[in-house]
Structure 1
Amino acid sequence: MRNRDVEDWWDAVGWYGKMPANGDFVHRRLSRELVQWWDKWLQTGVAGLHQRNADRSIEAEFQGAPLWNFAIPSGFGSGVVQLGCIGPSRDRVGRSYPLVITLSMPERDFSPAVLAGASGFYRQLGGSLLAALRRGCNPEQFDQSLRLACGEINAMVAVQTSVADDPGADILSVLNVGHGTPVPVGVHDELGWRDLPSYFNPNSHTSYWWTNTIEGAAYKSHVHGGALNATLFNKLFVSHAGYR
């Protein structure tokens, strides 16, 4: 990844799902193959909600789930590394379905330092999701809000460049690049998972999920081995007592 203008990152950040201000599925800047890749998992999870929702308590639990950041390797058949955020949503008439935002990149463009500088990026994704899920912004407003996240990608690139210049630098020294004094702990804790950059493997079959704290959710993390499945969906959106 190299430093670019915000517009140059625009094509790499896409989204898919349902939102309260719209009546059906919406998406922007995701290939048909990537939409189908996400939909296969999400439809399986939502179908499970419907099967278990005799008293509608499961539906309410889904809507009360936190926002989740993720880092997904390319080894699942999508062909790209994906960094993004997903949250519980519904369409205008109340049909539940998540809304997901993802930055997709070829494996060759990924380095651990990309994640090390991603705290602001994940924070902006959380803010955009909140605007859609809680404040009723329409698809175009939601889409335009992602320009802020695109602007944060250059911060990720800057950290990557610093690591390239100093291969021996550890994560803490990387985070202090460009600052006269050490960065306060709270500045970068949106990423939450401080060791993740060191062990995320972009061509593995292990994905990483952790709560986005922009809405005050308690920090939780989950490592999932293998393809995205109903067990993972339930872990994120149903079995989440105490996460918020």
Structure 2
Amino acid sequence: MIQVCLNGPRSAADGAAVPLSPGAMAESAAGAVAAGAAEVHVHPKTPCGDDTLSPRAVAQALTAIRAVVDVPVGVSTGAWAEPDPGRRVDRVRSWTVLPDHASVNWHEPGAESVAAALMERGVAVEAGLWSGTDGPRRFLASTSAPRALRVLAEVMDTDPDTAEESARSLLAELAAVRGVPVLLHGEDGGAWPVLRHALASGLDTRIGLEDVLFLPDGRRAASNAELVRAARGPLDIRWPPRGHGPHSGGGDP
């Protein structure tokens, strides 16, 4: 299964291809699903383009996307959208339109409470376990772990030469997880090597403008659909992108 991650915390500074409005999110989701994505992950935005958990923004994004695709749609509950754990829980409880699932980063303060609030509302939880954090350890000790929809194994190493080995190390940390599917993905320079490792290992994965702005051959991606098509084809990875350093994929305008 390939999930498309439409936008993440990126902004207009990351290029016009990043969908920020509900209409743009819907159009991008439709193209990505037509290209082969089986699920959608999206970050609802304020009118200024900032991530938000507000019920209005979540409802607008989900309603627009569901009008054009018939696949599961999930959102983020990242702490950067609402740093206060109590307010994050209140936001989840105030949602008027519910996603099919929501990601919860287990290393963030309040993760257990946010996950519990989601499950109480019938929203499935993707457990975001970032490499280099205590998220995996905390998740393995959590009573919520067996009820998670899946683990999002997130490799934070953006070096294309070492990201695949970092993925192996993260998966080894998660070896004690039983009965919970794993979706493995990377970021920026590490996105394509980690995706290739996920596919070779028979794991679910994801791709999209949240994770990487460039195609495997170094060209800038024109859309999420283009990234999904690349992920479904043979991966001839040539990194860094033309004219860019090995770690510049995610921040260049």
Q: Does TM, normalized by the shorter one, top 0.5?
A: no
More helix by share: 1
> What TM-score results when the alignment is normalised by the length of structure 1?
0.32
When normalised by structure 2's length, the TM-score is: 0.31
Pick 1 or 2: higher relative contact order, CA cutoff 8 A, min separation 6. Answer: 1
